[in-house]
Chains A and B, each alone.
Chain A
Amino acid sequence: MKYFHLIWAALFRRKTRTILTLVSIIAAFLLFGLLDAVRVSFEQAGQSANGAERLQTGARLSFIETLPFSLGAQIERVPGVSAVAYANWFGGAYQDAHNQIFTFAVSPNYIDMYPEFVLDAAQRKTWDTDLNGVVVGSVLAKRYNWKVGDKLPLMSQIFPNKEGSKNWNFTIDGILHSKDPNQNGFFDAIVLMHWKNFDETTPYNRGQVGWYISHVTDVNQSDRVAKAIDALSANSDHETKTQTEQAASANWVKQMMNIGLIVTSIMGAVFFTLLLLTGNTMMQAVRERTSELAVLKTIGFSNTSVLGMVLAESVLLLVLGGVIGLGLVSILAPAISAGSGGMLHLPSVGASSWALGIALALGIGFVVGALPAMRAMRLNIVDALAGR
């Protein structure tokens, strides 16, 4: 540590070069931070502790098939199930048929299943008694400037109402918020309507339920409970498939896109380039300073401390860039999330991303510094001072 000022001075000996290199490193780590945030946000989907306690039961045939309403009462009697809620896909769109808004028709106790999001008690009371009411996610409310009490015209891409029109009119009774602002923002961007209203209004549903959500009393019993629920409808014409919410959303993400592969290949290209770039800078730096290093050795610095100083210089350069880059992500990610209006939810850089980033910076720093440091260590004083 006592050599720190020496290392620092060496690093900024050629300001332009160091700063230019630093910007490249910052860009690389900025990209790393953003991509890692995307990867984490996909992996996080449903991975909360609450997600493990919830089982989703859907039709085994396919996700667009529905299940009979009577199944709910049967699921409730399965040992280990503490509560059952149900929901249907409404296929809502706002203003334009292609501007899709996640809209679910849900049972009265649906919100109780998700302690992650909160609804003001008074608003909840109004909604419970207003059959034609909906509650909307806070992000949607902000984007479209919806307020409690507003009329909300929604188009269903699938279901006509009694008059045969697919334009439905609702009243906004409440705004849903995520309890933890840094958590999964999915519920901030949905609209919930009453299942009863949906079922009574559209001639197409007739008592069918899209999927059931059951809360299990003991997480360790999830597998057994899931099998017991599926056994209820085995060999019937509406066989079910029950998974924990975690497994279901992991499967969903996997079907969407192989995020991990894309992120890894991009980062591979980025860090390979970075390796070459900083490696070149460090080689230049050591080559330029040959005579200075020889002087250091002359006045008594040992070979190993010269090696250590050059290595420390390259590690310092990388860590400096890495920290600034990841710091920028911490500022940018919330801004991007806010700017996209809920389309994209980037979590801020988490502890694991920081750790991975710093580890990468240290690793690259050592790899890059190794060759120039060896060179500096093996420097022959007489040759170096003579400029040979």
Chain B
Amino acid sequence: MKFLKGLLTLIVVFAGIAVFLVLPWPGLAAIVVLLGLWMALTRRGQQAASVAAIGIATLAQRAGSAAVIVVGIAGVVGVLVAMLAMAQGYADTLRRTGSDDTAIVLRGASASEVSSVLAHDSVVVIEQAPGVARDDAGKPIVSPELVVAANLLVRGAKNDDDMGSVQLRGIGDEAWKLRTNAKIIAGRKFEPGKYELVAGKGAQAHFAGLEPGAQIRIGSRVWTVAGIFESGDALDSEIWADAKVVGDTYRRGASVTSVFARLTSPAAFDSFKNALTTDPRLQVDVDTSQHYFSKQSEGTSKAIRIIGIVVGVIMAIGAIFGALNTMFAAVAVRAREIATLRAIGFRGLPVVVAVMLETMLLALAGGVLGGLIAWLVFNGYSASTLSMGSTGQLMFQFNVAPSVLWTGIKWALAIGFVGGLYPALRAARLPVTVALREQ
């Protein structure tokens, strides 16, 4: 019998965790409303409310141990939210980079832009494909681009070894028409045919010497930084220059690595793709740029999420035991009081609900606190990494999105649920006579 009860409690624990982790916010709101109604309308509910009120009113006297729950859970939620915000920021930056009405064409079976090669002939074929949008002059909006890497000194470099890799994109005039979100924010565009470049805002922040008018050395050549551009996505981490000049410097001739095409509409993608993949002159992969860039972020953001969750789970175990400790102590202190209530006719359920409610409130406070700290410290925090499929540092910002915060709150509630359940059951089960006699 005792074993069965233990098993039942354990099942309740896991069910509770599962419910709290998958619950969407309307579900939680419904539970809160139902609980409120129960407390306001039924006799048992009113009993629970009054017991809970006593517990919450006496919290101030137990500030130290209550803080263990709040701070413990705040720590878990803070770390979890920070890690998830990192993954979110990384994925968002790459997802924003593409759109569903621009297509990217790569040589077949190339994992990324930099490992692809397309000859000049292919570019001409792609320009004639159906579904490609044209500008006012009737010219197809197709941008052949040459992606390579360059080593630059990072900001605050102490010596020549402190070099980082930046993605260098050789572009033509069409690239600006295709990417209407990319704007020059300082200086001017580079002049075609010259050793001039424009640097993205993120690249400027990460690498040394990328100021308008400054000269930098890439390999054995000196380039002039003509201006700084901002596009609000992963391209901010790149530097752009004239495709022909880049091709000469990197001995690539007229070949390019990728071709971007603006489509007349997202619906035109299928016919565009069909035309190119069935063309015997070409061996290419065609994707929408949005799907391509989202896919690039998949591996890394998944890895960050998994690390965040593993760390979070271990911390949560620590926090659960901290909460158990505190609540057992709280119940022990109030053992006589609870026994008295039960002696004068209160049932077990109101006592259980009251203890649980108290723990959950503390947990919620911890969750909110942790989320708040993570938001204050990390929202917009800039980080950089070498991204998969790119050859340069990718600058991104932590994004403490509402969905990330919500996940943190759910974790907090789940921890509070487990941490409160056992002490609550102990309080309800304690034999009245024993508890009354206890000192």
Chain A residues packing against B (C-beta within 8 Å): 16-17, 20-21, 23-25, 27-28, 30-31, 34-35, 59-65, 91, 93, 97-98, 100, 155, 157-158, 164, 166, 204, 235-237, 239, 241, 243, 247, 251-252, 255-258, 265-266, 269-270, 272-274, 276-277, 280-281, 283-284
Contacts and interface: CB of A to CB of B under 8 A. Distances in A.
B68 A60 contact: no
A257 B163 CA distance: 14
A256 B328 contact: no
A166 B151 contact: no
Contacts of B150: 61-62
Contacts of B315: 27-28, 31, 269-270, 273
Given A24-B322, A270-B75, A276-B71, A63 B149 contact: yes
Interface of B: 64-65, 67-68, 71-72, 74-75, 78-79, 82, 108-112, 114-115, 117, 148-151, 161-165, 168, 218-220, 249-251, 283, 311, 314-315, 317-319, 321-322, 324-326, 328-329, 383-386, 391, 393
B329 A237 contact: no
Q: Chain A contact residues: over half helix, strand or loop, or mixed?
A: helix
A157 B65 contact: no
7 contacts: A60-B151, A61-B151, A65-B219, A251-B161, A255-B165, A269-B75, A273-B71
Contacts of B71: 272-273, 276
Identify the 7 closest CB pairs spanning chains A and B, nearest first: A27-B318, A61-B219, A62-B149, A273-B75, A157-B111, A20-B325, A24-B318
Contacts of B391: 62-64
A235 B217 CA distance: 12
B311 A24 contact: no
Contacts of A24: 72, 317-319, 321-322, 325
B115 A91 contact: yes
A280 B161 CA distance: 49
Given A61-B249, A157-B110, A241-B151, 12 more contacts: A24-B317, A27-B315, A61-B250, A62-B149, A235-B220, A255-B384, A266-B311, A269-B75, A273-B72, A277-B318, A280-B64, A284-B65
B318 A274 contact: yes
Nearest to B326: A280
A274 B391 CA distance: 41
Contacts, number: 154
Contact of B318 (A28, A62, A98, A272): A28
A62 B79 CA distance: 36
B319 A273 contact: yes
A63 B151 CA distance: 8
Contacts of A93: 111
A233 to B, nearest CB: 9
A35 B283 CA distance: 45
A97 B220 contact: no
Nearest to A66: B251
A20 B328 contact: yes
A61 B79 contact: no
B212 to A, nearest CB: 23
A112 B254 CA distance: 40
A257 B304 CA distance: 11
A308 B148 CA distance: 66
A135 to B, nearest CB: 24
A255 B164 contact: yes
Given A27-B315, A276-B67, A21 B220 contact: no
Nearest to A35: B311
A166 B79 contact: no
A17 B318 contact: no
